[in-house]
Structure 1
Amino acid sequence: MIKQAAILVLLLSFTISNAQKVIPLYNGKVPNSKEIAGLTDTTAVFQSGNKMIHFVLRVASPDLTVFLPEKSKATGIAVIICPGGGYSGLAIDHEGYDIAKKLNEKGIAGFVLKYRLPNALYVYNKQIVPLQDAQRAIQLVRENAKKWGINPNKIGIEGNSAGGHLASTARTHYQKALIDNPLKTSLRPDFMVLNYPVISMADSLTHMGSRYNLIGEGLAPNELKTIMSDWKTSEQKLANLPVNGEKIKEYSNELQVTSDTPPTFITHAVDDNTVKVQNSILFIAALQKNKVPVESFFYAKGGHGYGIDNPSSDVEWIDSCMTWILKINK
């Protein structure tokens, strides 16, 4: 979902300023991860316009990076942040760390989730693995809320692009715990923020790369990697591959909204040619039908993948979003 001019694969070693701590998501064995000796996280550097973007290509060890605001500013509100990347990687800087730092300015704690990708080379039951990690992140933050000065009833989830699909899945599929939960901790986010999200798995709406990576079957991992290596042609090639109809329904989150879905802030650019804006429009309609509070922020221009800095506008969605978060969590 990012146009690349050059790729440099490195061992993951980001310098994260203002981050208090990086916490492993699991103690001991990571559920559904294959035991592969020497497996490590890897990353690439992409050039997109004038920006160099760090992109995690493989997550061997899922974790949370904790960004706590200054104590004098702390509101007790927390947001778990899911970077996007078509379920083939994570744009961890501008769709992760940058958002957390911005939230800290308003006294909101940020937890950047480095979740595992649905790659059958490294995991079993690939379609549930990202959701397992999102549920574990919610559980971990809620059970440690007191330690971090967080109100356990003010924990939201934010997602960008395919991370938006994960965030909306975490909310619409929270009733079924995919992780051990001995304390019966609530896995329901209290609010949700979606930034140019993939919502639907339907043929006419979805981002094909995200859909096939998550629920597609039949291609060997190396075959899929070959198709995905050419961003210009991959969508059409993947559109021609069959995907289980029941899985399409299950992971089309516009079909999973209920009156129990939490308040939602959703933003998108109308000219997004990667993830169609209709994803957000349909989700808003489903929320309204179920009388769930929703606030939207649309750009006329901006395309896809800009994070919190849309160069086509002098107004940034994140400012309106933070005002909304503070308002609903009074």
Structure 2
Amino acid sequence: MRIGYKIALFLCILITNVYAQSYEVNLWKTDIPNRIENNKYTEIKTYKDSVLVRVSQVSIPTLTIFKPKNPNGTAILICPGGGYAHLSMDKEGYKVAAAFQKNGITAVVLKYRLPSDSIMLDKTIGPLQDAQEAMRYMRREAEKLYINSDKIGVIGFSAGGHLAATLSNYYDEKLTDSNENLSAKPNFSILIYPVISMENEITHLGSQKNLLGIHPKKESILKYSLDKNITTQTPITFMIHSADDASVTIENSLNYYYALHKNGIKVEMHLYDDGGHGFGQGNTKSNSNWFNTCITWMEMHNF
């Protein structure tokens, strides 16, 4: 057996073992809100080495739960990016979850509905409905998951960062008929090269188009430009961005940082000179490991 094949086999077994420590559940136990029944709208999945790396046309949202052997009580909801067109499930989902899991943190990867008029009455609220319910699910199942309801955060990448920031500011917007008295507010927020603004000058136009439509109304642009909607109740935040990000300009993070600071919200931001966009858990162009820095930040705030 060649050495290269042995290494590949070992890595495949390693990946399988890590992901075997997770399980998937449907997010909604009742009817999915805001839903249009469309049997022709089915998921498009891309696999690599038996791992789901990319998915689009999500109509049934799920949670993939990574439970650590020795949970420390902290949990985090993970929102993969993909411009609200697809979800980068492995690089910005499962791999990040496995890293948190190794640190004793219960990680939950959200496969959320992507905005579409084909399956939603109002596509602008679909992803947020799923994110809110995911937070409620984690609090509802806190005892079973061995987590502290006061130590549940959210992390998002790119458009997933926009969803995480939207949840961090619109956690109490009532979007379903449920009367369940469970908070959807994250206790902390981690945004990695996030889309923040929907304003034409600095937004990621693909995310804007997919979420708000081809000709978005001014009020929709304002509502979903999260730097314009921060309050004193927005969760403390950790942010990462690269100056050379050609997809989501660094002004997105800078404007959010300034708005958080102005409202007295604790925020820590790390900026890379190099790194580009979509580097997931790592950044090979920088000698700084954002994930380890993030863990340090969480420990500093008792998460």
TM beyond 0.5: yes
Q: CA deviation at 1:327?
A: 1.9
Distance 2:21 2:246 in 1: 34
Q: CA deviation at 1:181?
A: 3.6
2:284 corresponds to which residue?
A: 311
2:67 corresponds to which residue?
A: 68
Aligned pairs (5 A) from 1:274-313: 274-313=247-286
SS in 2 for 1:297: strand
Q: Is the 8 A contact 2:242 2:276 kept in 1?
A: yes
Aligned pairs (5 A) from 1:229-244: 242-244=215-217
Aligned pairs (5 A) from 1:40-189: 40-44=42-46, 54-71=53-70, 74-189=71-186
What are structure 2's unaligned runs of at least 5 residues? 1-14
Q: Deviations over 1:135-190 (max 9, x none)?
A: 00000001110110000010000000000000000011112121344331111110
Distance 2:299 2:102 in 1: 12
Q: Is the 8 A contact 1:77 1:329 kept in 2?
A: no
1:212 corresponds to which residue?
A: 209
Note if 1:248 corresponds to 2:221: yes
1:225 corresponds to which residue?
A: none
Alignment RMSD (CA, Å): 1.8
Q: Structure 2 vs 1, CA of residues 102 and 60 (structure 1 numbering), >3 Å: closer, same or farther? A: same
Aligned-partner residue type, residue 275 of structure 1: V
Q: Structure 2 vs 1, CA of residues 45 and 318 (structure 1 numbering), >3 Å: closer, same or farther? A: same
Distance 2:37 2:147 in 1: 35
Q: Deviations over 1:24-80 (max 9, x none)?
A: 00113211222123643222369xxxxx99221111210100001112xx2100000
Q: Is the 8 A contact 1:79 1:155 kept in 2?
A: yes
Q: Is the 8 A contact 1:269 1:301 kept in 2?
A: yes
2:32 corresponds to which residue?
A: 30
Q: Is the 8 A contact 1:40 1:61 kept in 2?
A: no
Distance 2:33 2:252 in 1: 31
Q: Is the 8 A contact 1:100 1:112 kept in 2?
A: yes
Aligned-partner residue type, residue 93 of structure 2: G
Distance 1:166 1:160 in 2: 9
Q: Is the 8 A contact 1:18 1:101 kept in 2?
A: no
Q: CA deviation at 1:19?
A: 3.8
Provide the TM-score with structure 2 as the length reference: 0.90
The percentage of aligned residue pairs carrying the same residue is 41
Choose 155-164 or 176-185, whichever is displaced more.
176-185
Distance 1:181 1:286 in 2: 32
Distance 1:180 1:149 in 2: 28
Distance 1:314 1:18 in 2: 31
SS in 2 for 1:146: helix
1:3 corresponds to which residue?
A: none
Q: Is the 8 A contact 1:195 1:266 kept in 2?
A: yes
Aligned length in residues: 286
Distance 2:34 2:179 in 1: 19
Note if 1:273 corresponds to 2:263: no
SS in 1 for 2:117: coil
Aligned-partner residue type, residue 24 of structure 2: V
Distance 1:292 1:62 in 2: 31
What are structure 1's unaligned runs of at least 5 residues? 1-13, 47-51, 218-241
Q: CA deviation at 1:316?
A: 1.3
Q: Is the 8 A contact 1:136 1:179 kept in 2?
A: no
Distance 2:154 2:269 in 1: 16
Q: Is the 8 A contact 1:22 1:66 kept in 2?
A: yes
Q: Structure 2 vs 1, CA of residues 263 and 133 (structure 1 numbering), >3 Å: closer, same or farther? A: same
Q: Is the 8 A contact 2:41 2:118 kept in 1?
A: no
